Amino acid sequence: EELRLLGWLLTAAGHARRGDLLESAIRQMDELARNAPDSSGLVDALVTRARIFIMTGNMQRAYTDLEKANRLIRRFPMSWTAGHGRTIFAHVLFLLGEWDESVTVADSAVALALDETDLSGWPRVLGEAIATWRSSTLATASRSFVTNGMRSS
């Protein structure tokens, strides 16, 4: 997932205020994203790059990346940045004066955040339950899953 790694490089370069690295990584991402297949990694890269564009005041480029990411999130909701990607997009829409669309996207971000059918945290919870069961009795594993696993999800 070279795109996702470039996103991390963008984040690090932005925090370190390394303009030289930012420019290079943005160019590389432009080239890779042009022909990249749709994926959760592409979503993450677009959202990360959009954040850099917002930090540097380039709202139109941020809008372009977030608009594409928002379309892809519907197909790749397991993306690491799905939740805050929609939130950032709603904010950019608001700043650009697209108030109605901003509210719609914000509502969608809230719905995703409150989605009880989102099972992305379950592998960790189930893994902990299995580890507990292996080292103890079934009753202890069930009790641990209910008391600890449900709180961490």
Q: How does pLDDT run across 91-148, given as a tens digit for each residue?
A: 999 999 998 898 888 888 777 767 645 555 555 555 555 555 455 454 454 555 555 6
d(CA 38, CA 10): 20
> Residue 72: which residues within 8 A CB-CB, separation 6 or more?
38, 42, 43, 46, 79
Mean pLDDT for all residues in the chain: 80
> How many whole angstroms separate alpha carbon 103 and alpha carbon 110?
10
Q: Is the pLDDT at 152 greater than 50, yes or no?
A: no
* pTM score of the predicted model: 0.70
Flag whether pLDDT at 153 surpasses 50.
Answer: no
- Kindly report the CA angle at 124 between 120 and 129, in degrees rounded to 5? 130
Cα(1)–Cα(104) distance, rounded to whole angstroms? 31
d(CA 122, CA 127): 8
